[in-house]
Amino acid sequence: MIKSARLNSVGVFVCHCGINIASTVDIEEVKRQLAGYPGVEFVKDYQYMCSEPGQLLFKEACRSETVGGVVVASCSPRLHETTFRRAAAEAGMNPYRVEIANIREQCSWVHHDEKEKATIKAVDIIKSVIERSKRNESLSSVSIKTVKKVLVVGAGISGMQAALNIANSGIETYLLDREPSIGGRMAQLSETFPTLDCSQCILTPRMVEVGQNKRITLMTYSEVEEVSGYVGNFKVKVRRKAAYVDWDKCTGCGLCSEKCPKKVPSEFDRSLGRRKAIYSQFPQAVPNKTVIDRESCLYFKTGKCRLCVEACPLGAIDFEQEDRIEEIEVGAIVVATGYDLYEKEKIEEYRIGYCEDVIDGLAFERLLSSSGPTQGRVLRPSDGTVPKEVVFIQCVGSRDPDHHLPYCSRICCMYTAKHAMLYKHRVPDGQPYVFYMDIRSGGKNYEEFVQRTIEEERVLYIRGRVARLYRDGKKVVVVGADTISGKKIEIRADMVVLAMAMRPSGGIGELSKKLKIQVDQNGFLSEAHPKLRPVETLTRGVFLAGCAQAPKDITDTVSQAGAAASMVLELLSNEELTHSPTTAWVDEELCAGCGQCVAQCAYGAIELDTRRKKAHVNDILCQGCGACVAACPSAAVNQRNFSISQYYSMIESIV
Amino acid sequence: MASTENRSEKNTRRESIEQFLYRLLKEGKVDAVLVPKRHPGGNIVSPVLISEPSQIKGTDPLAPVQTVNAASIVKELVKEPVDKKIAAVLRPCEVRATIELIKLKQLSDESLLIIGYDCPGVYNVKEYMHGIENREDKEAFTEEHIHDFLSGDGDLVRESCRFCTYFTADSADVDIAWIGVEPPGIIVAARSEKGRRMTGGMNTGDKDAPTVRKETIGKIEARREKRQKSGIDNLLDLIQPCIRCYNCREVCPLCYCKECLLEPEKMGYTSERYLSRAERKKQIRMPVDTLLYHLTRINHMGYSCVSCGICEQACPMDIPLGTILHVFSKKIQSLFDYVPGRSRDDELPLTTFREEELSEVEDV
């Protein structure tokens, strides 16, 4: 009896949070009202409970013999719940006997003009948490063994960087990409701002390093089919797409492609060049293997041809090949699926002017690239002549919340400056024009680069939007406004380059569902916290890198990939992981087996034993969100330390 | 296309149905039939589980009385898989409740054949017994009622039936239709693969065929739709008389919990709590939380409620529960474009997530 009385007693700390709470909530009044509340042993307050002296005060109280639980009335539990639970553990108290009463975000911040009522509400919030706390159990956390392997999805520069960092730290890594080769978007670029390094020259050594790394297993031309399991123990089914070429035999000699009679527009060259139906993406591809594009291949269409079979000295062509599913087990997953460009067809007002000579930024990269379809010469796609007047339009599709995408794509100011500069290098007597809204050149040496473009290269920057494009003979007429002079501008251009908005690459929605991670309103993957957890997702063990999270340049992408890798290494450096014990559980006496909780669980943590008609919660998969508790009409599902009787007493204490 | 076989020997629709059920059992298509039957004394008709064909005589599914929503009986009967084939002859609201229970995994339907029929509506039990007490010809009362149903529903018919628009059993395995068919004719139509398999050779046609049937159904629907209420503005007044006897919960076919969380001990009512609450609020009505009780029931039942009105019949305090449940459930169900019991393939609203649903509550 004495013991339970002790467990039912609670100590309360009220944090002022400087003036964040104290200027709205009358702390003295709160203390007065709570002083005689049943079960409350003491009420103390402090300026900043999270500060070192505040925590000392807290630990001292936890050590005291008189309380079974502690309530900290402060900010959201998302911020300092861990702080105080850890402090309690250090002081010898069960950490799950510490509860946070949120009187800042849910009270003082939202009621700062109604101080009296805010004080009453703060008291109510604290009382209800006291009731919850009195009924808490001393839980202990659950341990999970981890698989020390990692899957990186997307083998662009971010995925490659993350994979290298992880593999070089001694951890086996699978690097997956849906394309036949690693390299991603960066392999398509010509030169990179602000140093004008040749993109392929700096990328290919990395690609080779990845290809040679013994701890990296490449899974190119593959897709994530299904993900199950949980942090430390993911099971991933990978679809290895049929290449119709036996990669164990193929040496990438290219004889098959030479003989192949079927030519189609090359995706890699943004349709400015052509590839064969059997092809390798680009000369430096890693792995250097060919694939057959089934849609274009004459054999698959007509049953005849087979010239590649004749050409291949190694007998590697295999028309019978089928997709196969490979299952791998990993402890962590990095998602680095990169970006696509917004479709220019979606820009209604430009559409009338569209012709072969209106291209997007990536296509212009291919024109500039020395390994591109024109070997780096800037030529009009329509007739192969050198364009003398080229208009670059920035923010196409970006920063246009009414019609297109609301966000800034972040790299277009820089790459447009680079495009204009490189164009000027290639065509010294040509005239580039840039239409811009404003120039965003935050980044080391970025502003200097833009200034150099404007001043030294004499690129004409026009501040204003382009209203429409139309064709006049061989010219594309660009109609816009110069908002500085207030004049209407018409340029008869030979070529127009659109700096299209970046958007997450196709299929990210399905992938995010398989991984049970969130996407934001623009479809980019959501980070766990915008500032402090930028490479984590809310699903433990799944991390983000590169443009899948938001538009960014190569520098930031590489930095972020390194950050994601270090988070993975931190996670896997432990032999065992711990999991919060505040999970749901099913009272089998009450469970009627209707299965509504199973359908509610976003984490796949509940299974229904159809024979016994009982639901069962997997402790490790359960994230303690409580959706199943709400769904169960029988109140058979309960959450540890958030039981239904705890809810009732919380409500009872305030209504 | 009415069934004309043995017409001269039959006098009523009831007998036609009886004949069909007799054959079903006699020919071994099923091992038992659950069907309403008139009891000795003649004043009450309620479900009976029959395994001997001769006992089919006297069954009367059309009698305008419903002692229980028979889905409750079905739930009890096939709570676990059985190796005998059972035909349950059910009113449309009972068919729909049964289908909801199947979706809620509360019964094993492998060996269950759901036979539905056009329902002429019912009187509350007391009204029925009162009306039939002194009648010689009990069956004539049913025939008169059917006549009333076709022309306008009597005032004494159960309120839930007066506004019911689901009086045909479209989602049953087998459907017995008589509206728009020349009496004593009936049309037996298999509605599902299972229905076709289990009653093979006994079907008498496409019940949707007669145009007069469609017209009659349309007229009744229109008339009843007009009686439906779109809102309740005095809920608190309406439930004032509640004595928390739990009758509404007990008779509800869809209430499937093993132990109800609204039981006083589950709600954590202790002597001390009553007193402290009274102290805090100056006074509390006893029994407590009747509003919470009814709102919780609405919340739990609203997705699947078939508006059979059996709760209203069971209420000793005459609270119009049938109307209350109907108004709330209809709103809940329309949010999810869900009609309970319409099809086994419609997923329960709470177990599915569609990105576009409930967009009206998003703050974007």
Smallest Cβ–Cβ distance between B106 and the set A521, A590, A592 belongs to A592
Residue B261 to residue A635, Cβ atoms within 8 A: yes
Regarding pTM above 0.80, the answer is no
Structure tokens at A622: 């359960």
pLDDT averaged over chain B?
A: 90
Domain boundary among B170, B194, B227: B227
Longest dimension (CA), chain A: 96
Q: Which residue of A has its CA nearest to B105?
A: A594
Smallest Cβ–Cβ distance between A634 and the set B261, B268, B348 belongs to B261
Same domain (yes/no): A345, A428: yes
- Does some domain include residue B106? yes
Cβ atoms of residues A122 and A35 within 8 Å: no
What is the model's pLDDT at position A124? 97
- Does some domain include residue B197? yes
Is the per-residue pLDDT at B204 higher than 90?
no
Residue A633 to residue B261, Cβ atoms within 8 A: yes
Domain boundary among B205, B227, B249: B227
How far is the CA of A532 from the CAs of A408, A444, A529, A546, A637, in angstroms?
22, 23, 6, 17, 34
Cβ atoms of residues A338 and A548 within 8 Å: yes
pLDDT (tens digit, 9 = 90+) per residue, A594-638? 999 998 888 889 999 988 999 999 998 898 999 999 999 999 999
pLDDT (tens digit, 9 = 90+) per residue, B57-83? 999 999 999 999 999 999 999 998 999
Domain of residue B95 covers 7-227
Q: Any CB–CB contact under 8 A between A649 and chain B?
A: yes
Please give the average per-residue pLDDT across B212-238, as a whole number. Answer: 94
Alpha-carbon span A160 to A208, nearest angstrom: 10
Q: Any CB–CB contact under 8 A between A211 and chain B?
A: no
> ω into residue B210 within 30 of 0, thus cis?
no
Domain of residue A593 covers 583-639
Burial class (CB in 10 A: 0-12, 13-18, 19+), A214: exposed
Same domain (yes/no): A427, A456: yes
Same domain (yes/no): B45, B175: yes
Query: What CATH number is associated with residue A427?
Result: 3.50.50.60
Cβ atoms of residues B153 and B142 within 8 Å: no
pLDDT (tens digit, 9 = 90+) per residue, B103-127? 999 999 999 999 999 999 999 999 9
The total of other beta-carbon atoms located within 10 Å of residue B9's CB is 9
Name residues of chain A where pLDDT drops below 70: 1-6, 65
Alpha-carbon span A330 to A334, nearest angstrom: 11
- Does some domain include residue A118? yes
Residue A594 to residue B256, Cβ atoms within 8 A: yes
The total of other beta-carbon atoms located within 10 Å of residue B360's CB is 6
Longest dimension (CA), chain B: 75
Same domain (yes/no): B132, B13: yes
Q: How far is B46 from chain A (nearest CA, A)?
A: 28
Burial class (CB in 10 A: 0-12, 13-18, 19+), B113: buried
Please give the average per-residue pLDDT across B328-337, as a whole number. Answer: 94
Residues of B in Cβ contact (< 8 Å) with A608: 105
Q: Give the best residue of A516, A588, A634 to mutate against chain B (max B CB count within 10 A).
A: A634
What is the model's pLDDT at position A3? 41
What is the model's pLDDT at position B29? 94
- Does some domain include residue B293? yes
Same domain (yes/no): B290, B191: no
What is the model's pLDDT at position B8? 43
pLDDT (tens digit, 9 = 90+) per residue, A292-324? 999 999 999 999 999 999 999 999 999 999 999
Q: How far is A594 from chain B (nearest CA, A)?
A: 5
Q: Higher confidence at residue B355 or residue A197?
A: A197
Q: Any CB–CB contact under 8 A between A648 and chain B?
A: yes
Same domain (yes/no): A55, A124: yes
pLDDT (tens digit, 9 = 90+) per residue, A199-225? 999 999 999 999 999 999 999 999 999
How many domains is chain B built from? 2
Smallest Cβ–Cβ distance between A631 and the set B277, B350, B352 belongs to B350
Same domain (yes/no): B214, B277: no
- Does some domain include residue A188? yes
- Which residues, at least 6 apart from A485, have a Cβ–Cβ distance to it below 8 Å? none
What is the model's pLDDT at position B216? 93
Q: How far is A539 from chain B (nearest CA, A)?
A: 20
- Does some domain include residue A139? no
Helix crossing, A115-134 with A644-654: angle to 10°? 150
Same domain (yes/no): A110, A221: no
- Does some domain include residue A249? no
How many domains is chain A built from? 5
Same domain (yes/no): B72, B114: yes
Residues of A in Cβ contact (< 8 Å) with B261: 633-635, 644
The total of other beta-carbon atoms located within 10 Å of residue A628's CB is 27
What is the model's pLDDT at position B309? 97
Q: How far is B14 from chain A (nearest CA, A)?
A: 37
- Which residues, at least 6 apart from B356, have a Cβ–Cβ distance to it below 8 Å? none
Q: Any CB–CB contact under 8 A between A610 and chain B?
A: yes
Same domain (yes/no): B210, B338: no
Query: What CATH number is associated with residue A7?
Result: 3.40.50
What is the model's pLDDT at position B209? 63
Smallest Cβ–Cβ distance between A634 and the set B258, B273, B348 belongs to B258
Cβ atoms of residues B31 and B84 within 8 Å: yes
Same domain (yes/no): A121, A13: yes
Same domain (yes/no): A12, A123: yes
Q: Any CB–CB contact under 8 A between A627 and chain B?
A: no
- Which residues, at least 6 apart from B32, have a Cβ–Cβ distance to it below 8 Å? B25, B49, B50, B51, B84, B85, B86, B87
Q: How far is B209 from chain A (nearest CA, A)?
A: 38
Same domain (yes/no): A415, A478: yes
Same domain (yes/no): B239, B223: no
- Does some domain include residue A479? yes
pLDDT (tens digit, 9 = 90+) per residue, B130-176? 999 988 888 889 989 999 999 888 888 999 999 999 999 999 999 99
Residue B106 to residue A590, Cβ atoms within 8 A: no
Q: Any CB–CB contact under 8 A between A355 and chain B?
A: no
Residues in A 518-577 with any Cβ partner in B closer than 8 A: 521
Q: Higher confidence at residue A219 or residue B185?
A: A219
Residue A595 to residue B351, Cβ atoms within 8 A: yes
Alpha-carbon span A251 to A599, nearest angstrom: 49
Same domain (yes/no): B217, B298: no
Same domain (yes/no): A280, A307: yes
Q: Any CB–CB contact under 8 A between A302 and chain B?
A: no
- Does some domain include residue B2? no
What is the model's pLDDT at position B363? 63
Q: Give the best residue of A521, A645, A652 to mutate against chain B (max B CB count within 10 A).
A: A652
Output A200-209 pairs: Cβ under 8 A, ≥24 positions apart: A200/A284, A200/A369, A200/A371, A203/A157, A204/A284, A206/A157, A206/A160, A206/A161, A206/A164, A207/A160, A207/A182, A207/A183, A207/A284, A207/A286, A208/A286, A209/A164
Same domain (yes/no): B127, B239: no
- Does some domain include residue B1? no
Residues in A 494-523 with any Cβ partner in B closer than 8 A: 521
Q: How far is B120 from chain A (nearest CA, A)?
A: 32
Is the per-residue pLDDT at B7 higher than 90?
no
- Does some domain include residue A290? yes
Structure tokens at A651: 């409500």
Same domain (yes/no): B306, B220: no
Same domain (yes/no): B88, B150: yes
Residues of B in Cβ contact (< 8 Å) with A634: 257-261
Alpha-carbon span A398 to A410, nearest angstrom: 9
Same domain (yes/no): A349, A305: no
Same domain (yes/no): A178, A206: yes
Smallest Cβ–Cβ distance between B300 and the set A599, A633, A645 belongs to A633
Domain boundary among B227, B245, B270: B227
Residues of B in Cβ contact (< 8 Å) with A594: 104-106, 256
What is the model's pLDDT at position A409? 97
Smallest Cβ–Cβ distance between A652 and the set B273, B300, B350 belongs to B273
What is the model's pLDDT at position B206? 63
Q: Give the best residue of A512, A594, A601, A644 to mutate against chain B (max B CB count within 10 A).
A: A594
Phi-psi sector, B358: left (phi>0), alpha (psi -120 to 50), beta: left
Same domain (yes/no): A458, A590: no
Same domain (yes/no): A351, A484: yes
Same domain (yes/no): B165, B267: no
